[in-house]
Amino acid sequence: MVRGKLALSLLFLSLGLKAQQLPLPEAGADVHEGVASCSTSVCHGKSSPEPGSTVWLNEYRIWLRQDYHSRAYRTLQTDQSRAIARKLGLPSAAGAKICLDCHADNVASEARGRRFQISDGVGCEACHGGAGRWLESHAEQGTNHADNLAKGMYPTEEPLARARLCLSCHLGTRDKFATHRIMGAGHPRLSFELETFTVNQPAHYEVDSDYRERKPAIASVNMWLAGLSVTAMAQLELLQESWFTDPGLIPELSFYQCHACHHPMDDLRWQREGADQALPPGAVRLNDGSLVVLIAVIKTGKLGEAGALDNALRSLHTASLESREAVVAKARSLHDLLAPMAEKLSGSNYDSTTMERLRGGLLQRAAAGQFRHFTAAEQVFLGVETLGLALGDAGTYEKAMDAWFESVRDENRFVPKQFAVLAGQVEKAL
Ligand code: HEC
Ligand code: HEC
Ligand code: HEC
Ligand code: HEC
C-alpha cells in the first residue's frame, strides 16, 4: 500500500457543479491534440517555474520526469506486462485495447489530433480533457477558467469530478475494468484514496493566492470525503454493469474482498459482527472497504443519517447470497442514498473539533476491531493520516503511526488483530 505525505490546505469551499454528469476526458467529443502540443518551451515545457506567471509552465517537465503517468505506456513494454499479456493470450500488452484504455489516452482515432501519440501514456489531456476547442484560447489574455471549462476543459479542481476522473482508471468504468482474469495474470490489485493519491502525484501546480482567485482551493478533509463517497458510489454503479451481471457460473471476483479468498487457512478470521451479521462463515464478501469507512465517519462525526446506510449495506450483503438481480437492486438503492450525501460531505466545513472527533472515533473503532477486512483497514489508516496532517499535530504521534502503518503495508501479511492493537496504541499516543 502507498502512503502519502500531505500538504496543508486551509480554505473550505463548496461547489454546485454536477460532477456526476460530466463526460470524462476519454468520453468527451473534443479532439486530443497530444502532449507535444502542450510541451514546447513557450508553453508548459519550461525547465523551472516561470516567475510572475499564474501557472508554473514547467508542468511537462514534472510530468515527464517525476509523474508515473508519463511512464504508464512504457509499463506495458516491461517483462511484467509481457508476462500478463502472454497469460491472457494477447499478442502484446502495448497493442491491447484492454491495457491501453487505462495506461494511455486511448481515445478513438477520429479524436486524435496531428501531434497525438499513444506512447505518451496518461498525458495532459487524459486528465484535463481534449484541448481541441481550448488549446488556442486558453493562454490568451483575458481568458478565464470558466471560458476554458465551457470549451471542454475538465474541472480537475472540483473534488467529485476529480474523484470520478482518477477512479475511471484507478477502479474502472462500464467500458474498462481490471478483472480478476487480469489480476490472476499478475496485475497488481487496484486500491485508491483520493487525497493520498492527489498528494502522491508529483504536484505540477501550487494552490497559492492567484490560484485561489481563479479556482476553489479544497481542504484535504473534503477531498478525502469526496473520494470515499465517489469510490463507494462508483463500485455500486459497476455492480449494475455487465462486469457483474453477466451470468457466468462464478461472478466477477474483483468485486469481492481479495483477501476473503487469498489468505492462509490457518488464520481463522470469521466472526459475527455489526452490519455483517448477514454473512455466514465461508461467505465471499463484496469489497465494501470505502463504504464501511464512510459510514463510520458519518456516525462518528454525526454528519448525516447513518442508520439507513447501515441497513442498506446489510441488505446488499444479504443479496450477495441470493442472486445477481438482488445485488443490482440493493446496489441501486444504496447508491441513491449516497448521491446526495456525497455533495454534502465534500462541500461542508470541518473545524478542528470535528476533525479531532473523526480521528478519535475512527481510531476507537479500529482498536475495537471494527475494520477487520484489509480494504477497510487500508482506508481507515489513510483517513486517520489525512486528519492528522490537516490538524497539524501528526508529528506528535508519528512513531505510533509508523508502527500502525507496518500492519497494512503488505496486504499478504495483514493480521486484523494486530491492526486493532496498533490502532489502540495510536489512540493512546494522541
Ligand atoms: C487514464 C487513466 C488514469 C487516470 C485518469 C489517472 N490515472 Fe493515476 N495512474 C494510472 C496508471 C496506469 C498508473 C500506473 C502507471 C505506471 O506505473 O506505469 C497510475 C499511477 C498513479 C500514481 C502512482 C501510484 C503508485 O503506486 O505510486 C498516482 C499517485 C496516481 N496515479 C494518481 C492519480 C490521480 C490523483 C488521478 C486523478 C487526478 C489519476 N491518477 C488519474 C492511470 C490513470
Ligand atoms: C482499469 C484500469 C486498468 C486496466 C484495464 C489495466 N491497468 Fe495496469 N494499472 C492500472 C493502474 C491504476 C495501475 C497503478 C496501480 C497503483 O500503483 O495503484 C496499474 C499498474 C500496472 C502495472 C504495475 C506497474 C508498476 O510499476 O508497478 C502493470 C505491469 C500493469 N498495470 C500492466 C497492465 C496490463 C498489461 C494491462 C492489460 C492486460 C493492464 N495493466 C490493464 C490500471 C489498469
Ligand atoms: C493524472 C491527471 C493529470 C495529468 C496527467 C496532468 N494533470 Fe495537470 N492537473 C491535474 C490536477 C488534479 C490539477 C490540480 C487541480 C486543478 O487546478 O485543476 C492539475 C493542474 C494543472 C494546471 C493548473 C495550475 C493552476 O494554477 O491553475 C496546469 C496548468 C496543468 N495541470 C497542466 C498540465 C500539463 C501541461 C500536463 C501534461 C504535461 C498535465 N497537467 C497533466 C491533473 C493532471
Ligand atoms: C472467491 C475467491 C477469490 C476472490 C474474492 C479473489 N480471488 Fe484471486 N484467485 C482465486 C482463485 C480460485 C484463483 C486461482 C488460483 C490458482 O490458479 O491456483 C485466483 C488467482 C489469483 C491470482 C493468481 C495466483 C496464481 O497463483 O497464479 C492473483 C494474483 C489473484 N487471484 C489476485 C486477486 C485479487 C487482486 C483479488 C481482489 C481484487 C482477488 N484475487 C479476489 C480466488 C479469488
Ligand nearest to the CA of 183: 4
Q: How far apart are CA 276 and CA 310, in angstroms?
A: 10
pLDDT at site 28: 87
Q: What is the pLDDT of residues 337-366, one digit of tens each?
A: 999 999 999 999 999 999 999 999 999 999
Q: What is the pLDDT of residues 176-192, one digit of tens each?
A: 999 999 999 999 999 99
Answer whether 200 contacts ligand 1 (Cβ < 6 A).
yes
* Residue owning the nearest CA to atom 36 of ligand 1: 166
pLDDT at site 39: 96
pLDDT at 3 exceeding the cut of 70: no
Distance 188 CA to ligand 2 centre (A): 7
* Residue owning the nearest CA to atom 29 of ligand 4: 184
Distance 188 CA to ligand 4 centre (A): 11
Q: Which residues contact 8 (CB under 8 A, 6 or more apart)?
A: 220, 389, 390, 392
pLDDT at 14 exceeding the cut of 60: no
Summary mean pLDDT of the chain: 93
Confidence of residue 111 (pLDDT cuts 50, 70, 90): very high
**Span 197-220, average pLDDT:** 95
Q: Which amino acid is at 412?
A: N
Answer whether 190 contacts ligand 4 (Cβ < 6 A).
no
Q: What are the DSSP calls for 352-396, one per residue?
A: HHHHHHHHHHHHHHHHTT---SHHHHHHHHHHHHHHHHHHT-GGG
pLDDT at site 137: 95
Answer whether 198 contacts ligand 1 (Cβ < 6 A).
yes
Q: Which one, of 412, 416, 407, 421, lies nearest residue 264 by Cα?
A: 412
pLDDT at site 99: 98
Answer whether 56 contacts ligand 3 (Cβ < 6 A).
no
Q: What is the pLDDT of residues 294-330, one digit of tens each?
A: 999 999 999 998 999 999 999 999 999 999 999 999 9
Q: What are the DSSP calls for 271-302, one per residue?
A: ---GGGGGPPTTPPPB--HHHHHHHHHHHHHT
Q: What is the pLDDT of residues 359-413, one digit of tens each?
A: 999 999 999 999 999 999 999 999 999 999 999 999 999 999 999 999 999 999 9
Ligand 1 atom at shortest distance from the alpha carbon of 127: 5
pLDDT at 212 exceeding the cut of 50: yes
Q: Tell which one of 68, 101, 119 to mutate to probe ligand 1, the residue whose CB is within 8 A of the most ligand atoms.
A: 68
Distance 123 CA to ligand 1 centre (A): 11
Distance 201 CA to ligand 1 centre (A): 8
pLDDT at 7 exceeding the cut of 60: no
Considering the entire predicted model, what is its pTM? 0.96
